[in-house]
Structure 1
Amino acid sequence: MTDAAPTGADEKKSAASAREIKALAHPLRLRILRLCGLHELTNKQLADRLGQDPGTVLYHVRQLLSAGFLEAAEVRAGESGALEKPYRSTGRSWNLDTALGEAGPGGPLAPVEAFREELAEAGPDALTSLSRFVLHLSDRDAEDLIRRIGAVLDDYTGSDRQRRDQPAYGGIFVLHRSPD
């Protein structure tokens, strides 16, 4: 599952606020969102899974809570019987048009860095498909390609809850202008 509650293919995504852009401009926050889109996890579970200090993870969880990307799930009893406070993704990030460049120089690359870390953690055997390409496109052609791929992703994310019993796949679509 993704951090998704998608719009329809023809609906325009809403503009993200400065707070939302900042919250999404950090690779660790994006990884937290992905994990909490798959499972309701506590701060300790997130820290263990991400190999991070719980205090560091809590700081990032609070940023995501404040921006409305995470919400507290029902308190539950853990394995030892102690009460746990898990978090889950709200799915809001899928419906935002985020200008991550406004978050500073690292902002636009945060999703790429998060994906790189997730792929490294999964290992080379987890890779099911890779397409690397160079295309010559007009601005109009590039917009059309982005719209069409976005529509396919919206279709799949919109019906993802129906396939929760299936294995989870992650991916990223990146189209960039070549410096050449």
Structure 2
Amino acid sequence: MDQREPATDEEAKALASTLRLRILRICLGEAHTNKEIAEILGRDPGSILHHIRTLVRTGFLQPQPERRGTRGAREIPYLATGKSWRVNAPVMNRPLLDAFLEEVALVSGQEMDTARLGLRLSPSDFEDFRNRLQGLLEEVTRLPEDPSAPAWSLFLALHPDPNRP
């Protein structure tokens, strides 16, 4: 995860929002309009538009060709660019956790597979594990997306264990 480019101040600020991280997830692989995003999140479209503009300005969302809505209104769908995967912004660690918690609260326990593992590895074994894990994640992100397949989300946190000195 250290191979990512450091985020600029503006990029880090854009990614330091749980709501913006959820917007990026909603627009991953399928473009959505401001109104659609607001409906999914149960929020006001006006406040969501502010966040969308921030994500567009920083290159995390890309506007798609304009279309007409059901009543002929002009609609602009937005698609996530995947840029958030390629930048390193430590400030987004807590918002990532908060976004994860908000999202899993919407999923039944039977649909979620969880694991928690405690490790004691030598520094070289730890680096090997971390590099292999990063390699697997990179490999999966390069797989072609199947729009007909169910959407899955993965949250992974690797941290020192404060309970075991």
Give the whole-Å Cα distance in 1 for the aligned partners of 2:14 and 2:129: 27
- Residue 98 (structure 1) shift: 2.0
Match of 1:164 in 2: 147
Residue deviations 1:150-176, cap 9 Å, x none?
111111110133x33211110111011
Identify if the C-alpha distance between structure 1 residues 30 and 165 changes in structure 2 by more than 3 Å, giving closer, same or farther: same
Give the whole-Å Cα distance in 2 for the aligned partners of 1:59 and 1:168: 26
1:41 partnered with 2:32: yes
Larger mean CA deviation between 136-145 and 115-124 belongs to 136-145
Match of 2:115 among 109, 131, 149: 131
Matches within 5 A, 1:91-170: 91-100=82-91, 107-127=92-112, 129-161=113-145, 163-170=146-153
1:15 partnered with 2:6: yes
Give the whole-Å Cα distance in 1 for the aligned partners of 2:122 and 2:11: 31
State the AA in 2 paired with 1:120: A
- Residue 24 (structure 1) shift: 0.9
Query: Residue 27 of structure 2 aligns to a residue in which SS?
Result: helix
Gaps of 5+ in 2: none
RMSD: 1.9
The alignment's TM-score, normalised by the length of structure 1, stands at 0.82
Match of 2:57 among 47, 50, 66: 66
Give the whole-Å Cα distance in 1 for the aligned partners of 2:89 and 2:108: 29
The alignment's TM-score, normalised by the length of structure 2, stands at 0.89
- Residue 14 (structure 1) shift: 1.4
Aligned residue pairs total 163
State the AA in 2 paired with 1:98: A
- Residue 116 (structure 1) shift: 1.1
Gaps of 5+ in 1: 1-8, 101-106
Residue deviations 1:13-41, cap 9 Å, x none?
21111111111111110000011113211
Query: Residue 87 of structure 1 aligns to a residue in which SS?
Result: strand
Residue deviations 1:106-163, cap 9 Å, x none?
x421101101111112332321x211111113444333322211111111110133x3
Query: Residue 70 of structure 2 aligns to a residue in which SS?
Result: coil
Give the whole-Å Cα distance in 1 for the aligned partners of 2:25 and 2:123: 31
Query: Residue 140 of structure 2 aligns to a residue in which SS?
Result: helix
